[in-house]
Structure 1
Amino acid sequence: MEPSGVASGPLSGLRIVTLAVNVPGPAAAARLRGFGASVVKVEPPSGDPLMHQNTAWYRALSTGQEVVRLNLKEAGDFALLEGYLAGADLFLTSSRTGALERLGLDPDGLRRKHPRLCGVAITGYPSPRGDEPGHDLTYLADHGLLTPPEMPRSLLADLAGAERAVSEALALLIGRERGIGEAGAHVEVPLSEAAAYLAEPLRYGITAPGAHLGGGFAGYGLYEASDGWIAVAALEPHFWEKLRAELGLGDAGREDLEGIFRRETAAHWEDWASARDLPVAALKGTPPDGRPGTEHRTTTMTEER
């Protein structure tokens, strides 16, 4: 795949080489490409597994990048990778720690050969657990972010990890240019820690069942309409007071709102709220039985780490 056009932005002139396949690494590389960096994506001979799982998303994440396939166990192909790294500013990986060490692509090996090259390693767990296997689903399970039997509708840890990788990459590159710290510093971005960060509202209790944002406050929750569901987020006092006033309610509770919202369609309530500057949205993609999320019961495979 050849790059299409030259992106402009704050990272123009910087070059990124990525070995990261599946979701977190490609999502991070796409974001950095959007900031203007040029990206060389090195895939294994069989290609990125995401290409076989979802071609459309794979192509979207690879847009504007130079994609090459190399067998890094072969000397000639490994030499090609070294050529790319010689002129690069950032090296992005998502392989297990042991696999990178065997190839001499661990931080110590890279510093010896490419002292100005910054590195971001997306891992499953932090060192010394870098070789333990895991996926988005197991990271979410570790931190109580699943509601069986429904499968999550997004790859939350993977995408949160991608954003963390972007932040760490920017910090490394800025630090290098300002002469702060090592010229070619390397950091880990464990996806399990990204999941832990997403779980902080639950850990502190604000989204626990019955807590203020976990169903305890009637102005913030999910309500059944006549043909689906709506999300009501009248969190601030002025929204909550206005919602009750527009519905003709005084000291409204959840049962009062449930009775009213069932009278009309979800689209009706979304339009009604929009006209009154109230935060209400119809749930998109709700299955026919009206239970959000029940049609998504298959997993999307991400890279085993």
Structure 2
Amino acid sequence: MRALDNIRVLELAGLAPGPFAGLLLADNGADVLRVDRVQPGHTPSPDVLIRGKSSICVDLKSPAGTQLIQRLISHVDVLIDPFRPGVLEKLGLGPDVLLKINPRLIIARLTGFRRDGKYATMAGHDLNYLAVSGVLSMLGPSVRIPPLNRPLPPSPPGNILADFAGGGLVCFMGIALALFARVTTGKGQVVEANMVDGVSYLATAPRISSKIPGQWDRPRGENLVDGGCPYYRVYECKDAGQYMAVASLEPKFFQALCIGLGLSEKDWGGDRENREFWPAIHVLFEKTFRTKTRKEWEQIFDGPAVHRF
């Protein structure tokens, strides 16, 4: 038996984070019915996060559509609302209405910005939410580029962090906690999730660590695990477009890395933890990785010589 067997979910179709929350529920046993918009000519939904779900098309702006949703609400445990603030209320499907129909209902409301902030009704995308949260400023290298001798802007990391991690995953966690609470209280509740706060929460450790020397106290791209450390970064191999990811923070893993590369401390001249040697280590690693193809490096680092530690 999966954890969410016998849990019924009504997912109002949206973009990325809402469907991802529904996918997580379905993957864990919930019966998820997605409510798609009526498209001319029976156009298929562009949503790719449909695994394990059923689907119906409903015109939520019609009286018949809202009545159907109200009838379904009596039989479900969770409603996923991906709309901007006020949309469900305008449709006559706000929490005050739905919780009267089904007091055990959990209404998961997922927005980009905070529901009570000045950006509440503003549209946005992953990159906007990352920027407002402050997390975007942590991403990307800080190598200074001529002619202005300034670093490139922060790098967009796809839409994984805000949409899926800070949005859909955090919303899923809120739903799971609300289901757990309902066991004790017998009552549903409104779960509020937004991508700005969600992704900001994910960055709790880096924010706190910014006060600890040697961790996140430097500009982006110059810290221990954001690309500043030469033994925690990505290197290009001899074959263009092929890379090796290096994460050898612990001494024994660093020793295994050096065995595989055929290098030692004498090649860069000092203690690897001394940041003064990091540029030299980086250049040396960069040159060394470019002497072999990724396949050749894979064979080396899969071998017994680097695993005996």
TM-score by shorter chain over 0.5? yes
Please give the alpha-carbon distance, in whole angstroms, between the structure 2 residues aligned to 1:134 and 1:23: 13
Q: CA deviation at 1:98?
A: 1.1
Aligned CA-pair RMSD: 2.6
Please give the alpha-carbon distance, in whole angstroms, between the structure 1 residues aligned to 2:223 and 2:155: 22
Provide closer, same or farther for how the CA distance between residues 270 and 140 of structure 1 changes in structure 2, counting only shifts above 3 A: farther
Q: CA deviation at 1:97?
A: 1.2
Asked whether the 8 Å contact 1:97–1:106 carries over to 2, the reply is no
1:43 corresponds in structure 2 to 36
Q: CA deviation at 1:154?
A: 4.1
Q: CA deviation at 1:115?
A: 0.9
Q: CA deviation at 1:177?
A: 1.4
1:273 corresponds in structure 2 to 301
1:133 corresponds in structure 2 to 123
Q: Does 1:170 align with 2:163?
A: no
Provide closer, same or farther for how the CA distance between residues 134 and 154 of structure 1 changes in structure 2, counting only shifts above 3 A: closer
Q: Over alpha carbons, which structure has the higher Rg?
A: 2
Tell me the alpha carbon deviations over residues 254-274 of structure 1, each in whole angstroms, 9 at most, x when there is no partner: 222222111011232233223
Gaps (5+ residues) in structure 2? 141-152, 269-280
SS at structure 1 position matched to 2:24: helix
Provide closer, same or farther for how the CA distance between residues 217 and 152 of structure 1 changes in structure 2, counting only shifts above 3 A: closer
Please give the alpha-carbon distance, in whole angstroms, between the structure 2 residues aligned to 1:162 and 1:170: 12
Query: Percent of aligned pairs with the same residue?
Result: 32
Provide closer, same or farther for how the CA distance between residues 100 and 213 of structure 1 changes in structure 2, counting only shifts above 3 A: same
Q: Does 1:197 align with 2:201?
A: yes
2:290 corresponds in structure 1 to 262
The amino acid of 1:229's aligned partner reads Y
Q: CA deviation at 1:278?
A: 6.2
Please give the alpha-carbon distance, in whole angstroms, between the structure 2 residues aligned to 1:67 and 1:170: 22
2:11 counterpart (14, 18, 26): 18
Gaps (5+ residues) in structure 1? 1-7, 280-305
1:114 counterpart (85, 102, 105): 102
Q: CA deviation at 1:14?
A: 1.2
Tell me the alpha carbon deviations over residues 286-305 of structure 1, each in whole angstroms, 9 at most, x when there is no partner: xxxxxxxxxxxxxxxxxxxx
Please give the alpha-carbon distance, in whole angstroms, between the structure 1 residues aligned to 2:253 and 2:154: 34
Asked whether the 8 Å contact 1:20–1:95 carries over to 2, the reply is no
TM-score of the superposed pair, with normalisation by structure 1: 0.77
Q: Does 1:218 align with 2:223?
A: no
Q: Which moved more, 1:158-167 or 1:215-224?
A: 215-224
Provide closer, same or farther for how the CA distance between residues 269 and 246 of structure 1 changes in structure 2, counting only shifts above 3 A: closer
Provide closer, same or farther for how the CA distance between residues 103 and 137 of structure 1 changes in structure 2, counting only shifts above 3 A: same
Please give the alpha-carbon distance, in whole angstroms, between the structure 1 residues aligned to 2:79 and 2:306: 45
Q: CA deviation at 1:155?
A: 3.1
Q: Which moved more, 1:117-126 or 1:141-150?
A: 141-150
Q: CA deviation at 1:144?
A: 4.4
2:264 corresponds in structure 1 to 250
